[in-house]
Amino acid sequence: MAGEEVVRLEDVWVHYDGVPVLEGINLDINQDDFLGIIGPNGGGKTTLLRVILGLVKPSQGRVTVLGSTPKRRRKFVSYVPQHSLFDQDFPVSVWDVALMGRVGQAGLFKRYRKEDNKAALNALQTVEMLDLKDRQIGELSGGQQQRVFIARALVAEPKLLLLDEPTASVDAPMMTEFYELLERLKQRMAIVLVTHDISAVSTYVDKIACLNRRLFYHHSKEISAEELEATYQCPIQLIAHGVPHRVLKEHD
């Protein structure tokens, strides 16, 4: 069944100023996984992605990405950050932003080549943003920008795609479209989708993990009530928010 192993975390701990953010995380992700990671804000979701990207060094434990260290494997891992990190007035076109996803592959001191341009064209087509390729990035709406950032992640043709709260700035009608895009992409790469929006994620992902410093994960969509409670600490409030947690169990 499961294909090649893409990521393995063994007893990973991360501390910020001596305060634990991630505690003893064990996780393995395979080539054909579409994993949703849910959990409250401040539960360490972004940190976990940053560990896999090699942007945060664990204080303890081992991280293996495609058989090597995260830093050595950056060219095979793409990342869609929680937007708004850039200056909206930045003088750069949609096309150049998409092309930036190839900056690692193209190599230092070199220009972008034909295959880089082709990859950017394909990626912008996939997210249906090719028509706007000459626009300045700040002129686009939040949802459109998010699509461009997904294109930027796709041009690298990664083996693993990490998405951090990708629907934060996406409006409701585009949401379905967005998840359908991921559905198509998962044929080609492993996907990890981090969100605090349980209801959206539960219909589309194949596997769910809960993270609140500690990770609960059984390679399935099964999360027990106790684990949800341990993750969110306040299960009643959770259900009151209209998140029927049986959705997590009843699928297909």
Partner 1 sequence: MGPLEYTFMQHALLAGLLAAVACGIIGVYVVVKRMVFISGGISHASFGGIGLGYYLGINPVLGALFFTVASALSMGVVTRRTRLAEDTAIGILWAIGMALGIIFIDLTPGYAPDLFGYLFGSILTVPSSDLITMLILDIAIIATVFLLYKEFLALSFDEEFGTAAGVPTEPLYLILLCLIALTVVVLIKVVGIILVIALLTIPAAMARQFTHSLKRMMLFSILFGVVFTTGGLWLSYELDLASGATIILVSGALFLASLGFARLHRRKQLQQPSQRG
Question: Interacting stretch for partner 1, rule CB under 8 A, among 7-15, 83-91, 196-204, 223-231?
Answer: 83-91
Structure tokens at 237: 């409030």
Q: Which residues contact 170 (CB under 8 A, 6 or more apart)?
A: 142, 143, 146, 178
What is the helix (H) or strand (E) element at residue 212, kind and residue range?
A: strand 207-212
The reply on whether position 114 binds partner 1 by CB under 8 A is no
Question: Interacting stretch for partner 1, rule CB under 8 A, among 52-60, 179-187, 206-214, 220-228?
Answer: 52-60
Closer Cβ to partner 1, 158 or 198, answer by number: 158
Closer Cβ to partner 1, 40 or 104, answer by number: 104
The reply on whether position 79 binds partner 1 by CB under 8 A is yes
Strand duo 34-38 + 19-30: pairing: unpaired
Question: Is the backbone of residue 56 left (phi > 0), alpha (psi -120 to 50) or beta?
Answer: beta
Tell me, what amino acid is at 181?
A: L
Q: Residue 89 to residues 62, 92, 93, 134, 137: CA-CA distances in angstroms?
A: 40, 9, 11, 15, 8
Question: Interacting stretch for partner 1, rule CB under 8 A, among 18-26, 107-115, 197-205, 226-234?
Answer: 107-115
The reply on whether position 156 binds partner 1 by CB under 8 A is yes
The reply on whether position 16 binds partner 1 by CB under 8 A is no
CA gap 73, 65 in Å, rounded: 6
Q: Which position among 18, 41, 111, 172 is part of the footprint of partner 1 (CB under 8 A)?
A: 111
Tell me, what amino acid is at 218?
A: H
Q: How far is the CB of 232 from partner 1 (least distance, A)?
A: 28
Closer Cβ to partner 1, 22 or 148, answer by number: 148
Q: How far is the CB of 213 from partner 1 (least distance, A)?
A: 23
CA gap 80, 162 in Å, rounded: 6
Question: Interacting stretch for partner 1, rule CB under 8 A, among 31-39, 88-96, 208-216, 225-233?
Answer: 88-96
Q: How many C-beta atoms surround the C-beta of residue 244 within 10 A?
A: 12
Closer Cβ to partner 1, 109 or 241, answer by number: 109
Q: How far is the CB of 166 from partner 1 (least distance, A)?
A: 14
Q: How far is the CB of 247 from partner 1 (least distance, A)?
A: 32
